[in-house]
Amino acid sequence: MLSDPDVVIIGAGAAGLAAGRVLMAAGAFTVVLEAKIRTGGRAFTDENSVGIAWDRGAHWLHNQRHNFFAGYAEREKIPLEPVSENRKIWTDRGWSDDELIQDYDAYCDLAFDRIAALGLEPVDHPVSDALPRHHFYRPMFESWYAALSGMEPNRSSAWDDWRYRDDTGNRRVRCGYGALLARYATDVPVEVSTPARIIDSSGPEIFVETDRGRIKASAVIITVSNAVLSSDAISFSPPLPNAFTSALECIPLGEAEKVAIAFKSDVFGLEDTHLIFLDPSPQVARFQIRPFGENIAVAYLAGCFARRMSEAGAAAMSDFALSRLVDVFGSGIRSAVTATQASDWCIDPDIGGGYSSARPGGADGRTVLAEPVNERLFFAGEAHAVDAYGTVHGAYNSGVETARRVLAHLRS
Ligand SMILES: Cc1cc2nc3c(=O)[nH]c(=O)nc-3n(C[C@H](O)[C@H](O)[C@H](O)COP(=O)(O)OP(=O)(O)OC[C@H]3O[C@@H](n4cnc5c(N)ncnc54)[C@H](O)[C@@H]3O)c2cc1C
């Protein structure tokens, strides 16, 4: 049986952990309920499955100068490292020359300029409306955009894109972003393996039903993903208002998955290189080859293709990723594989996808979702961070902001 706190937080990802720390620092008795056996949510460093640590979810510290976790890593004496600039493009005739890379970069610059201009239009449009035509570069850009936003450009809102801010670049940590978050979670009172099933705010107190009993609180912060909120995994009494559920439909979770393939030696002859394919097919992966010099390749799948592969299962994902590497490096690399593993975010009932992306016409839904319901149910998470959605630091910012609102509510 759990004791009754002032505040119950549901979900121990970046948002829930940040909210928990703010409330604890202010002296509010707080309990964080987490469905999984671990903390971190979509920031999880897998240290076991392939013998080399890799981030199944978040790996880059975006917008590093405005990212709490960049400062936290420095205070914890964990060195931040630059993201590798090495990049190679594979074509059906072998490695591309520099001219092709420059042409593709010019296409991307033009596309991003046009997307920004579209975001200033008085009516919201799909991002795809801004893209210049090109037989190869447009599909390549579309797959890159899906990896950035979790959804292909035709499913993404230009207004949402315009509101996102990242002016200071990316960093990474060798131990893994998930491991960094696991360290941050120390001292936060998290009850793992304790999913919230029912939230009853029909009376003067709020009750949260779990498999370990019922908890009473004055306020609840819900940080589960929008896919979980839309799935009815948690029952709300009274039901969530229509304005809130409509906003949820406007801000679905996109799709992102990864596959890790470990090798017994360096079969690539490349150092920490981003590998992309000149390929008009939407069924593409991008790879980070030998990140931090380790003998591992990590494939990144995004958009509808990522969900289809996730549903096909880990073996199908690994086969696909390895076959793409064989196309480039030859079938000899197969015998050097020591282990493979794939993420399963899209089919994970506690998550349900990659990161949130507004549908065209739906960007304003984020502000609706950030408002409390009946002044006592508060919501936080990456989907609520208007200028940093889809990121760990955005989830953190949202958790901190929401915890401050809850403190004001408790004192009122
Ligand atoms: C493949 C991939 C790559 C990514 N790459 C990056 C990156 O490089 N950089 C970056 O900044 N971001 C990246 N992201 C996004 C980032 O991981 C998320 O935006 C962020 O971690 C979300 O944090 P959150 O707290 O909002 O939600 P979550 O991390 O989803 O936390 C919510 C928690 O709620 C729990 N939960 C669900 N249901 C219940 C319930 N009923 N009761 C109790 N608990 C429940 C879940 O288990 C979860 O732990 C990536 C994500 C993916 C999937």
Is position 68 within any domain?
A: no
Look at residue 1 in the predicted model and tell me its pLDDT.
60
136, 258: one domain? yes
**178 CB less than 6 Å from ligand 1?**
no
Cα(332) to ligand 1 centroid in Å equals 37
Look at residue 281 in the predicted model and tell me its pLDDT.
79
341, 263: one domain? yes
Taking the CA of residue 36 as reference, the ligand 1 atom at the shortest distance is: 47
**44 CB less than 6 Å from ligand 1?**
no
The two beta strands, 235-237 and 196-200, are parallel
CA 55 to chain CA centroid, nearest Å? 11
Picking from 134, 371, 412, the residue whose alpha carbon sits closest to that of residue 384 is: 371
Is position 74 within any domain?
A: no
Cα(391) to ligand 1 centroid in Å equals 8
Look at residue 30 in the predicted model and tell me its pLDDT.
97
Q: Which of 347, 376, 401 is the last residue of a domain?
A: 347
Task: List average pLDDT for each run of 10 residues in the chain, which is 412 residues long.
Answer: 88 98 97 98 98 98 97 96 95 94 96 98 98 92 94 97 95 97 96 98 94 95 98 96 97 98 97 92 88 97 97 98 97 98 98 98 96 93 98 98 97 90
- CB-based contact 96:241 (threshold 8 Å): no
Is position 160 within any domain?
A: yes
List the residue whose alpha carbon is closest to atom 35 of ligand 1.
11
Classify 331 as helix, strand or coil. Answer: helix
Is position 275 within any domain?
A: yes
Cα(201) to ligand 1 centroid in Å equals 25
155, 288: one domain? yes
Q: Which residues contact 17 (CB under 8 A, 6 or more apart)?
A: 32, 39, 181, 184, 185, 188, 190, 399
Is position 60 within any domain?
A: no
**341 CB less than 6 Å from ligand 1?**
no
Residue 161: domain span = 84-169+254-347
The partner residues of 167 in beta bridges, in order of sequence, read: none
118, 247: one domain? no
**43 CB less than 6 Å from ligand 1?**
yes
Q: Which of 321, 347, 373 is the last residue of a domain?
A: 347
163, 263: one domain? yes
230, 365: one domain? yes
**14 CB less than 6 Å from ligand 1?**
yes
Cα(166) to ligand 1 centroid in Å equals 19
List the residue whose alpha carbon is closest to atom 37 of ligand 1.
350
245, 96: one domain? no
Residue of 224, 310, 357 with the most ligand 1 atoms within 8 Å of its CB, for mutation: 224
Cα(121) to ligand 1 centroid in Å equals 31
297, 247: one domain? no
134, 259: one domain? yes
- CB-based contact 139:280 (threshold 8 Å): yes
Taking the CA of residue 380 as reference, the ligand 1 atom at the shortest distance is: 26
Is position 47 within any domain?
A: no
**256 CB less than 6 Å from ligand 1?**
yes
Q: Which of 316, 347, 378 is the last residue of a domain?
A: 347
248, 259: one domain? no
**34 CB less than 6 Å from ligand 1?**
yes
CATH no. for residue 29? 3.50.50.60
Taking the CA of residue 11 as reference, the ligand 1 atom at the shortest distance is: 34
Query: Which value does ipTM take for this structure?
Result: 0.99
Is position 52 within any domain?
A: no
The secondary structure of residue 84, as a DSSP letter, is: P
CATH no. for residue 274? 3.90.660.10
Is position 56 within any domain?
A: no
Write 132-136 long-range contacts (CB < 8 A, 24+).
132/107, 134/107, 135/280, 136/278, 136/279, 136/280
264, 228: one domain? no
158, 273: one domain? yes
- CB-based contact 148:181 (threshold 8 Å): no
DSSP result, 219-267: EEEE---HHHHHTTSSEEESPPPHHHHHHHHHS-B--EEEEEEEESS--
Report the number of distinct structural domains present in the chain.
2
Look at residue 374 in the predicted model and tell me its pLDDT.
87
**13 CB less than 6 Å from ligand 1?**
yes
